[in-house]
A and B are shown apart, each in its own frame.
Chain A
Amino acid sequence: MFNSASYLQSVKRRTAWLGWFIAAAFLVFAIRLFYIQVIQHSHYVALAKETQVTKLTVFPERGTILARDGASAVVPLVLNETVYTVFADPHEVKDISKVKEVIQRVAGGEALSNSFQYLNDTARRYLVLARQVTKTQAELIQKENLDGVGLQKGSKRVYPEGSLASQLLGYVNNDGEGQYGLEGALQSRLAGQNGSLQSVTDVRRIPLTIGDNNVEVPAVNGDNLVLSVDRNVQFLLEQSLKEHADKVHSSNASALIMDPTSGQVIAMANYPTYDPSSFTTVTDYSLFQNKVTDNAYEAGSVMKSLTISAGIDTKAITPTSTSPNPTGCTTVDDRTICNALRNGVTNPTTQQTLTYSFNTGAVNAVRSLSGATTINKTGRDKLYDYFTNHFRLGKLTGVEQSGEAQGLLYSPEDEEGNNVRYANMSFGQGMTTTMVQMVAAFSSVINGGTYYRPTLVYGTQSTDGSVQKQAPTVVAQNVISTDSSNMMRDMLWHSRYDNNGKNVDPVGYRIGGKSGTAQTIDPKTGQYTTDKTIGSYIGYVGGSTPKYVIMIRIDDAQGGVYVGSNMANTMYGDTAKWLIAYEGIRTE
Chain B
Amino acid sequence: MSYFRTTAPSTADFRARRDTTTKWQRNQNTVAYAASTRMGPITHTVVVALMVAMLGLVYLSQVTKSSTFGYTMQQQNDTLASLAAEQQDLQIENARLQALNTVKDSNVAKAMTTPVSTASATN
Binding site for B on A (CB under 8 A): 75-76, 79-82, 134-135, 153, 158, 160-162, 164, 202, 206-210, 231-232, 235
13 more A-B residue pairs beyond the given contacts A81-B89, A209-B70, with a C-beta to C-beta distance below 8 A = A76-B95, A134-B89, A135-B86, A160-B95, A160-B99, A161-B99, A161-B101, A164-B100, A202-B70, A207-B70, A210-B66, A210-B70, A231-B100
Cβ contacts A to B, 12 pairs, < 8 Å: A76-B95, A79-B91, A79-B95, A80-B88, A82-B85, A158-B92, A160-B95, A160-B99, A161-B100, A164-B100, A206-B74, A207-B74
Q: Is the interface on chain B under 10, 10 to 19, 20 to 34, or 35 or more residues?
A: 20 to 34
Binding site for A on B (CB under 8 A): 63, 66-67, 69-71, 73-74, 81, 84-86, 88-89, 91-92, 95-96, 98-101
Bound Cα distance A208, B64 (Å): 10
Interface of B is mostly: helix
Contact at A76–B66, with CB atoms within 8 Å?
no
- Smallest CB–CB gap between B30 and chain A, Å? 51
- Smallest CB–CB gap between A508 and chain B, Å? 14
- Smallest CB–CB gap between B111 and chain A, Å? 21
Known contacts A161-B99, A235-B100; decide if A209 and B66 are in contact (CB<8 Å): yes
Which residues on B sit within 8 Å (CB–CB) of A232?
A: 100
Contact at B88–A79, with CB atoms within 8 Å?
yes
Bound Cα distance A160, B100 (Å): 9
Contact at A81–B88, with CB atoms within 8 Å?
yes
Bound Cα distance A210, B89 (Å): 35
- Smallest CB–CB gap between A160 and chain B, Å? 3
- Smallest CB–CB gap between A275 and chain B, Å? 11
Which residues on A sit within 8 Å (CB–CB) of B66?
A: 209-210
Q: Which 3 A-B pairs have the closest CB atoms?
A: A160-B95, A208-B70, A82-B85
Bound Cα distance A105, B88 (Å): 25
Bound Cα distance A158, B89 (Å): 10
Contact at B73–A209, with CB atoms within 8 Å?
yes
Closest chain A residue to B70, Cβ basis: A208
Which residues on A sit within 8 Å (CB–CB) of B84?
A: 82
Which residues on A sit within 8 Å (CB–CB) of B101?
A: 161-162, 164
Contact at A135–B99, with CB atoms within 8 Å?
no
Closest chain A residue to B101, Cβ basis: A162
Contact at A81–B73, with CB atoms within 8 Å?
no
